[in-house]
A and B are shown apart, each in its own frame.
Chain A
């Protein structure tokens, strides 16, 4: 029988020290170097239990993330990094310190150990590794704690899935190079670009490949098979850039539903096979599918799924409590699931979820606003990537509405466009069907000075 009381640990890094952890300016950085940097940084971290890790450099973010784990500190990962968002987090966690690239570099170099060991001690699986925050339009960020055990399990599951995808792409086992348009402080980026290299032969380019040219150049510079970690928005932008010099073995795409047409074009353009992922901040990556091979999602075996009147509930060995998904799914044959859409009130923009009810309450509470509605236009069955708003506020300038909303919201949720109207047509229940709103929006897409 399994001894359940024994303390359980998982290694921070389980790879050969000579292997490349990643690349900075195309120069390899060895796993042993990363381990030493993490140990050194751990000795020099600010003396606070909560560390708001806002490093922009992927390598330094990882150094601080692992250094915090070594010291029993917790990485706080805000959903965005405006001064307001960081201020809200500081108020919620008074005993916290902000660690950015500059402090990380100082912490890393201020005490150079003469001969630092490169072996990192294993970490308790119960230890709280990070809290991922989602923005709340009420002003208080919602916390989603992640234990080291859960994150450690994720890297194993993800590597298993990626191995299968690489095999399907005809890539034999061996080193792969990863290029990511997704920052590592987004949970999706954390799971796939920081945790994977700690156990698998995956080396990540430190620079966040952001503009199409960066992505294409970095992908083309590698002489090992490449994996691109990205989003539908970036794939769309890449269609308008020259193709990379070498085909991309596997492209991982998440944060928003990927349109099948876009998937087909991107596969052709990049010479790649796309593996689309589904996940949420409450858990992490949960399921995958090949978007060009039908609608069915396969949830990872790690999760136990249960349908209830509230939708799909997910349990997992190292998930503290069951999680009810905010999205609706329907069971298909063969153990797959079809994604039916977000629960009516929830929108997901730039990988972040928000309640439309909250956004609309915020809009209606602005000075001078008599009526208004924020919605996600739906075209050809696909939700668009940005919110739109109709506002009735005869005495207010549209730019004032924008400014007031920008002060209170993550810019991702700012409607584009905000259109001033005389009235909003409402049915007997006081609602306006989404189809009507979208048609109103499309009916007059001209500047307001007409």
Chain B
């Protein structure tokens, strides 16, 4: 469950955005589900707050209409991949 540097940065962003101080960002498994009853057990308000933080930090905007969005929010790994792909597509 080693995090890549990008995943570590995203983990810190999530922990900061959601005020999850009981969670060490380094402990978030990139493959573990973040929402629902498992893992971090996040809810839709958390998704909104993460989206706002990502928009501020990376200027990447999510759309609930895109099929890929639900998948992107599933795990730390997916979210990082999605955001990095968007960022790299710009440059």
Contacts and interface: CB of A to CB of B under 8 A. Distances in A.
Given A237-B48, A350-B43, A417 B64 contact: no
Given A416-B18, A417-B22, A418-B22, A207 B64 contact: yes
Interface in B23-70: 23-24, 27, 35-38, 40-49, 51-52, 55-56, 61-65, 69
A414 B41 contact: yes
Contacts of A418: 22
A83 B38 CA distance: 11
A403 B38 CA distance: 7
Interface in A200-231: 207-214, 217
A417 B22 CA distance: 6
Sorting the interface of chain B by its residue count into under 10, 10 to 19, 20 to 34 or 35 or more gives: 20 to 34
B48 A234 contact: yes
A83 B64 contact: no
B51 A211 contact: yes
Q: How large is the interface on A (under 10, 10 to 19, 20 to 34, 35 or more residues)?
A: 35 or more
A84 B37 contact: yes
A233 B43 CA distance: 13
Contacts of A420: 22
A443 interface: no
A449 B44 CA distance: 28
A407 interface: yes
A84 B24 CA distance: 27
Given A214-B64, A240-B55, A449-B24, A402 B41 contact: yes
Highest count of chain B CB atoms <10 Å: which of A241, A401, A411? A411
A284 to B, nearest CB: 22
Q: Considering residues B22, B63, B69, which has the most beta carbons from chain A within 10 angstroms of its beta carbon?
A: B22
B37, B47, B55 — most chain A CB neighbours (10 Å): B37
Contacts of A402: 22-23, 40-41
A407 B51 contact: no
Nearest to A233: B45
Given A211-B48, A240-B55, A399 B63 contact: no
B37 A83 contact: yes
Interface in A405-420: 405-407, 410-412, 414, 416-420
A445 interface: yes
A419 B22 contact: yes
B87 interface: no
Contacts of B48: 210-211, 233-234, 237
B62 A211 contact: yes
Given A82-B37, A385-B45, A411-B42, A213 B22 contact: no
Interface of B: 15, 18-24, 27, 35-38, 40-49, 51-52, 55-56, 61-65, 69
Given A210-B47, A212-B61, A406-B41, 8 more contacts: A80-B43, A82-B37, A207-B65, A210-B44, A217-B63, A399-B23, A402-B41, A406-B38
